[in-house]
């Protein structure tokens, strides 16, 4: 496989663009200053403070759990939706799938709150997860559908000719081929969920706290480096979790596994 130098340089520039701000986030988590504005000196104090801050840690944990839940459920539902949209000329589903992405978060948040109250659902972490799943499905569906478009249908036909039932054909042929799309969608869903603020604000129950909600409370005064510390930590923990998950199911991101 030839790798052109321009491609390499362009990709490197993009990578720098991606990681520049991140380097600042991580670096400033060691900043010996209350504010996130100028570098003053090095300290581990913020990490120490973080580990004593039960509210912050609980919020981070909640975000992680909700993120994983939303990611898994929306991946399953989104893959089904993406497949259905690709296979059949549907009218309602594409609109229902796309609209949550388009609709302003405030509207969705307010309407879900009204709805949850009307059906007497206890607000809490579960209501947040339900809301997140609703807007994540679309992201997975679109990616899966794009992956399916241009997939070699003859492979599926061959499987059927060899005696596979439709569910078998889907599970043994189609699914492995679209798996990179599913995983890509799952990663996006996770990212969306752990970062969501507006919808979470409205659908959270009294005392339910996620990390974005907690961090937003600090924006008023100053976003102390404790936030940088928890962000760095969250990234590390998520990375470790995902790497472990990949060891458990190798080749998920590549076709055929």
Partner 1 sequence: MRRLLSLLSLLLLPAGLPAAAKDDVLHLYNWNQYIAPETVERFEKACGCKVTQTYFSDNEELLAKLAAGAKGYDILVPTSNYIQGMAKAGWLQPIDKSKVPNLKNIMPAYLNTSFDPGNKYSVPYAYTITMLGYNEQKMRELGLAIDSWAAIFDSRILEKIKGRVTVLDSQSELMAAALKYLGYSVNDRDPKHWQEAKNTILKAKPYWAAFKASGYIEQLAAGNIWLVHGYSNDIYQADLGAQEAKQKFRIKHAMPKEGAVLALDAMVIHKGAPRPDLAHRFIDFMLDGKNSSDLTNMIGSGNPNSAAMQFIKPEIKAMSAIFPDQQTASKLEMLTDLNSQQRRLMNRIWTEIKAK
Partner 2 sequence: MSGPPLAYLLVFFAIPSLIMVVASFRLPGDFGGLAPLIYSDETGTHLDVTLESYTRFFSDVLYLQLFLKSFWYAALTTLLCLVIAYPLAMLIARSPKKQRDLLVLLVILPFWSNFLIRVYAWMIILGPNSVFVGALNRLIGVFGFEPLTLLYTPFAVIVGLVYVHLPFMVLPLYANLEKHDPALLDAAQDLGANAWNRFWRVTFPLSLPGVFAGAALVFIPAFGIFAIPDILGGTGGIMIGNVIKQQFLDTRDWPFGSVLSIMLTVMAIALAGLAALLARRSRL
List of residues contacting partner 1 (CB under 8 A) = 33-38, 40, 62, 64-66, 68-69, 72, 110, 113-114, 117-118, 123-126, 129, 201-202, 204-209, 213, 216-223, 244-245, 248-249, 252
Q: Taking a C-beta distance cutoff of 8 angstroms, is the pair 176, 257 a contact?
A: yes
183 within 8 A of 76, measured Cβ to Cβ: no
Task: Please identify which residue in 47, 68, 147, 209 interacts with partner 2, judged by CB under 8 A.
Answer: 147
- Reference 217, options 200, 234, 203; nearest CA is 200
| Residue 81 interaction partner, one of partner 2, partner 1, none, beta carbon < 5-8 Å per kind | partner 2
- What is the spatial distance between Cα 107 and Cα 52, in angstroms, rounded to a whole number? 37
Q: Phi first, then psi: what are they for 256, rounded to 5°?
A: 90, -25
Beta bridge partners of 42: 31
35 binds, among partner 1, partner 2, none (CB under 5 to 8 A by kind): partner 1
- For position 16 contacting partner 2 by CB under 8 A, the verdict is no
Q: Hey, which residues between 215 and 244 contact partner 2 (CB under 8 A)?
A: 215-216, 219, 223, 227-228, 230-232, 234-235, 238-239, 242-243
The residue written with tokens 């949850």 in the block is: 116
Nearer to partner 2, 34 or 177 (CB): 177
| DSSP result, 70-116 | HHHHHHHHHHHHHHHHHHS--SHHHHHHHHHHHS-HHHHHHHHHHHH
Classify residue 217 by burial, with Cβ atoms within 10 Å: 0-12, 13-18, 19+. Answer: exposed
Closer to partner 2 by Cβ: residue 143 or 208: 143
Residue 83 touches partner 2, criterion: CB under 8 A: yes
CB 238, min distance to partner 2, A: 5
The partner in contact with residue 180, picked from partner 1, partner 2, none with C-beta cut-offs of 5 to 8 angstroms by kind, is: partner 2
**CB 132 to partner 1: min, Å:** 13
Q: Does 200 bind partner 2 (CB under 8 A)?
A: no
């Amino acid at each position: 496989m030839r790798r052109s130098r321009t491609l390499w340089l362009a990709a490197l520039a993009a990578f720098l663009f991606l990681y520049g701000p991140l380097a600042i986030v991580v670096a400033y988590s060691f900043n010996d200053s209350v504010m996130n504005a100028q570098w003053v000196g090095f300290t581990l104090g913020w990490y120490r403070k973080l580990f004593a801050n039960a509210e912050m840690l609980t919020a981070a944990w909640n975000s992680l759990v909700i993120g994983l839940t939303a990611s898994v459920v929306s991946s399953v539902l989104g893959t089904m939706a993406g497949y259905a949209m690709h296979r059949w000329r549907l009218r309602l589903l594409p609109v229902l799938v796309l609209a949550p992405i388009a609709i302003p978060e405030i509207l969705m948040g307010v309407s879900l709150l009204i709805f949850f109250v009307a059906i007497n659902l206890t607000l809490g972490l579960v209501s947040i997860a339900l809301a997140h799943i609703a807007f994540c499905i679309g992201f997975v569906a679109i990616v899966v559908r794009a992956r399916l478009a241009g997939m070699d249908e003859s492979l599926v036909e061959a499987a059927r000719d060899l005696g596979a039932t439709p569910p078998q054909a889907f599970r043994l042929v189609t699914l492995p081929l679209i798996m990179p799309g599913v995983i890509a969608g799952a990663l996006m869903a996770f990212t969306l969920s752990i970062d969501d603020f507006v919808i979470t604000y409205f659908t959270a129950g009294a005392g339910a706290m996620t990390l974005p909600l907690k961090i937003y409370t600090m924006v008023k005064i100053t976003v102390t480096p404790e936030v940088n510390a928890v962000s760095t930590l969250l990234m590390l923990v998520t990375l470790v979790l995902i790497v472990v998950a990949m060891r458990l199911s190798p080749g998920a991101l590549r076709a055929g596994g």
